[in-house]
Structure 1
């Protein structure tokens, strides 16, 4: 839709209010509802939005030392621009029109700390190289019979899951909550987020959904919207949905795997597939894999952005711990799926459900393209069997601090994403680590309080 079509739609439907939002550095949607007149007036020049949204963390606490904004700048407004291609209506909110926005400038530059703007730039580079990037993200998450109030009253412990027991791929459990289950599938479809599949995963009250693949920017848009949409739909059923990577020591974590492939610009040919090559994977895919493996230790915070992310990346927890790849191997960081030309793709298994889809997809695409640009050789053999037990494979950084420092010291990350983004992002991750490091945990109290 262009400006005139959108304006005509609003007038014909007698719409007086519009909702828009953008994703901050953590992938959290920030936005507001505005009047039709303000919406129309801002279509060309954008809408002023306080840039504090890139100067504070997920709890609205101000970062230390970031340059993009702060008390030293006075927290001014920055021009936020709506992308008309993201138009949809919210079916569970009387079909209010909804748009996604970002901080891309009219000159194509924009705010270095804006995740969507970063992905747009990398997608443009990809298309300049002659490739169409087709992506999709899938999510696992836990559902609880709780409310925001009860979570706090209980201190986030002793929570009641939606259903008890380990019921992965169960037909029984969803039928016991069919109103919620089918609301997810149907309302997300109406919200222009088509699910390829929806099922229970192993664990009490766990669901998994795979979003249908599409162009990388649209795929990230849908993934970001999916998480908030699920939470809003769940709330209408008196359920709290959590995308925390690892909420319970004794239960599996929640993944956010990314499926990716490169196609010809006309979308006719899957460039990752070759019937003439071993394993039917093309030389281009081998370079793409080599790029991701080479860059992985230096881009890890973009895939695993929280302190909690690394509680999921442990041996035997269905999450990778090594710089590795394999054919249909769920113990490796990269999993090649090659059943046919149509479905040959690469699955990045590092991201958890807590990842920011814009940053996780930007990191995946940029690192893969790095391998193609530099014609890297895939000199790491495909892992057969259990990657956890192979002591010869390089291990991933084990915590957010180590990962953030590796990214900060890497010229590769700065080449891929630019000095300004890396400086800002690393400072936000080190801030996250500092907030964690100064806390006294329940484990410490139980361990040391009396006996030490």
Structure 2
């Protein structure tokens, strides 16, 4: 798509305002609005925006120190340029369109910015002859905006009787999401009060992470316009399961013609590099944990009996393992990285999964035996199976110790990420000391 084509879309749809959007490290979208008449100029001259907001702010807008993008550079602005392929009309907002932006400083990309980090990992994957077809399967919690209570109660997954209470959010989502490119595959009610699950069709390359980012923002916006609050906070209630953000993917050739994951001749059903890819993910599970579940609240999802993985295991259609493999022929076989919680940043999930998979391929890591039963039963596990860290301190230590992941994602991103986590930990410690037991809900629910 080029500027002229976008100008034609603007004219045809009577667009008067354009949002220039950028998700931050937490995946929370920020934007600056300009009149549509200035689109051509904004495309060439860029949009100034606070880089500390994107790289140093937490879910409440508090700025962390030591990120490399705040006080160190005088809280200066970046200059961001639109990715024209991401331009969309926003049908639920009057005469409005949106476009994702690429931030720069002094004419160079912001190398720690999650979207840029994901783009680099895709380039590395392309360099060895592959690309990625992927999607995220999200769960999220929904409250009535006036009462601030879940729209339905209980833990009865998929119960039909819940649907009348969910219609107020499901109907507008089903109406608007297809208008911005989401081909919805299925929906259900989850294991928690007010919990909804949705899946949509995959896409190639960076577009899949863009889709995931826009899905989260769109869902929250549509909910608010229909008297609800939707939250991708992973575990807002003690009596509800942690929401997922599973990363479902397969590897293809760079021309996007031939899937490269399936091998009907091998007993596993996976190609040689498909086996190495899964082994790579499993070998990095401890370091991946905090990248997949990146908040104090989110990482609790890995505690036992939370309907989430607890160790570095894989299995065929096994929903208790960290990696679920579905063998469905040449074009249907896929890998489901079940580590991500709904509070994940999809760009980080994509980048870290690729980095782990590529390490498995580069080092020809062997695939351990699959687990056939419940991973909570130790008798089903291969020897020396690694556990997943389920608190923020152990998870951060595991990330720092994983030099492969840290090197792949880059010093600037890792430093920024760790600084934000340190602030998060400090704020939680202060809240607990003051007796604020609802701190996590107040800190995460509204904006995530």
The 8 Å contact of residues 302 and 389 in structure 2, kept in 1 or not, is answered as: no
Which residue matches 1:202? Answer: 191
Paired with 1:38 and 1:48, the residues of 2 have a C-alpha distance of 14
Which residue matches 2:375? Answer: 387
Paired with 1:167 and 1:237, the residues of 2 have a C-alpha distance of 25
With over 3 angstroms needed to count, the CA separation of the structure-2 counterparts of 1:177 and 1:423, relative to structure 1, is closer
Range that drifts further, 232-241 or 17-26: 232-241
The 8 Å contact of residues 143 and 205 in structure 1, kept in 2 or not, is answered as: yes
1:426 aligns with 2:418: yes
With over 3 angstroms needed to count, the CA separation of the structure-2 counterparts of 1:104 and 1:78, relative to structure 1, is closer
What's the secondary structure of 1:318's corresponding residue?
coil
Which residue matches 2:445? Answer: none
With over 3 angstroms needed to count, the CA separation of the structure-2 counterparts of 1:87 and 1:142, relative to structure 1, is same
Of residues 166, 170, 175, the one that matches 2:155 is 166
Structure 1 unaligned segments of length 5 or more: list them. Answer: 151-158, 447-452
Which residue matches 2:5? Answer: 5
Paired with 1:427 and 1:412, the residues of 2 have a C-alpha distance of 20
With over 3 angstroms needed to count, the CA separation of the structure-2 counterparts of 1:204 and 1:124, relative to structure 1, is same
With over 3 angstroms needed to count, the CA separation of the structure-2 counterparts of 1:141 and 1:445, relative to structure 1, is closer
Once the two structures are superposed, what CA deviation does each residue of 1:388-441 show, in whole Å capped at 9, x if it has no partner? 232742111221122112222332123211222212212222221222122227
Paired with 1:203 and 1:335, the residues of 2 have a C-alpha distance of 22
What's the secondary structure of 1:251's corresponding residue?
coil
Residue 340 of structure 1: how far off its partner (Å):
2.1
Which residue matches 1:450? Answer: none
Residue 95 of structure 1: how far off its partner (Å):
4.7
With over 3 angstroms needed to count, the CA separation of the structure-2 counterparts of 1:264 and 1:445, relative to structure 1, is closer
What's the secondary structure of 2:307's corresponding residue?
coil
Paired with 2:123 and 2:178, the residues of 1 have a C-alpha distance of 28
Q: 1:23-172 maps to which residues of 2 (within 5 A)?
A: 23-53=23-53, 54-70=55-71, 72-103=72-103, 110-147=109-146, 159-172=148-161
Residue 195 of structure 1: how far off its partner (Å):
1.5
Q: 1:363-378 maps to which residues of 2 (within 5 A)?
A: 363-378=352-367
Once the two structures are superposed, what CA deviation does each residue of 1:89-132 show, in whole Å capped at 9, x if it has no partner? 1111125111111226797x511221111111111111122112
The aligned length equals 433
Q: CA RMSD in A?
A: 2.2
Which residue matches 1:225? Answer: 214
Structure 2 unaligned segments of length 5 or more: list them. Answer: 439-448
Which residue matches 1:307? Answer: 296
Paired with 2:236 and 2:168, the residues of 1 have a C-alpha distance of 25
Paired with 1:237 and 1:9, the residues of 2 have a C-alpha distance of 27
The 8 Å contact of residues 130 and 265 in structure 1, kept in 2 or not, is answered as: yes
What's the secondary structure of 1:122's corresponding residue?
helix
Residue 216 of structure 1: how far off its partner (Å):
3.2
With over 3 angstroms needed to count, the CA separation of the structure-2 counterparts of 1:168 and 1:442, relative to structure 1, is farther
With over 3 angstroms needed to count, the CA separation of the structure-2 counterparts of 1:445 and 1:165, relative to structure 1, is closer
TM-score (norm 1): 0.90
Range that drifts further, 367-376 or 95-104: 95-104
Paired with 2:105 and 2:250, the residues of 1 have a C-alpha distance of 29
What's the secondary structure of 1:168's corresponding residue?
coil
1:412 aligns with 2:404: yes
What's the secondary structure of 2:423's corresponding residue?
helix
Range that drifts further, 98-107 or 255-264: 98-107
Range that drifts further, 382-391 or 126-135: 382-391
The 8 Å contact of residues 155 and 192 in structure 2, kept in 1 or not, is answered as: yes
Residue 276 of structure 1: how far off its partner (Å):
0.6
What's the secondary structure of 1:41's corresponding residue?
helix
Paired with 1:250 and 1:179, the residues of 2 have a C-alpha distance of 23
TM-score (norm 2): 0.91
Residue 367 of structure 1: how far off its partner (Å):
1.0
Paired with 2:377 and 2:95, the residues of 1 have a C-alpha distance of 52
What's the secondary structure of 1:439's corresponding residue?
helix
Residue 170 of structure 1: how far off its partner (Å):
3.0
Q: Which has the higher contact order (CA 8 A, sep 6+)?
A: 2
Once the two structures are superposed, what CA deviation does each residue of 1:188-222 show, in whole Å capped at 9, x if it has no partner? 00022221111212232221001211113111111
Paired with 2:437 and 2:306, the residues of 1 have a C-alpha distance of 26
Which residue matches 2:446? Answer: none
